[in-house]
């Protein structure tokens, strides 16, 4: 049987991790849209720029969302294992 206080704490932990991932992904999407729009504009103005390089530069902003996801997983697993939930 799960202790009600432990269940409440784990629930708050999951909500906090979800908010963190949501904020990181949302802001990453905004940044990725701005970066991609600038990259497409640069490629259309100058033929010197490689489209592949611009796609790589716009994909760098996606790493922010990945960092948010990894941080949320670390929060969930470290705190849940530390609380004794899985024992």
Q: Above 90 in pLDDT, residue 25?
A: yes
Its pTM stands at 0.75
* CA angle at 21 for the pair 10 and 6, rounded to the nearest 5°: 5
Angstrom distance (rounded) from CA 50 to CA 48: 6
Average pLDDT of the residues in 42-66: 81
Angstrom distance (rounded) from CA 32 to CA 30: 5
Mean pLDDT of all residues belonging to the chain = 84
pLDDT band with cut points at 50, 70 and 90 for residue 87: low
Average pLDDT of the residues in 41-62: 80
Q: Where are the domains of the chain?
A: 23-82
- pLDDT on residue 26: 94
- pLDDT on residue 35: 87
Q: Six-digit token pair at 74?
A: 């670390």
Angstrom distance (rounded) from CA 69 to CA 3: 28
């Amino acid at each position: 049987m799960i202790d009600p206080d432990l269940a409440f704490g784990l629930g708050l932990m999951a909500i906090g991790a979800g908010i963190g991932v949501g904020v990181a992904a949302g802001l990453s999407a905004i940044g990725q849209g701005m970066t991609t729009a600038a990259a497409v504009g640069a490629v259309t103005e100058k033929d010197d720029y490689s489209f592949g390089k611009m796609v790589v530069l716009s994909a760098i902003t996606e790493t922010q969302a990945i960092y948010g996801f990894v941080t949320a997983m670390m929060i969930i697993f470290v705190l849940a294992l530390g609380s004794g939930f899985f024992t």
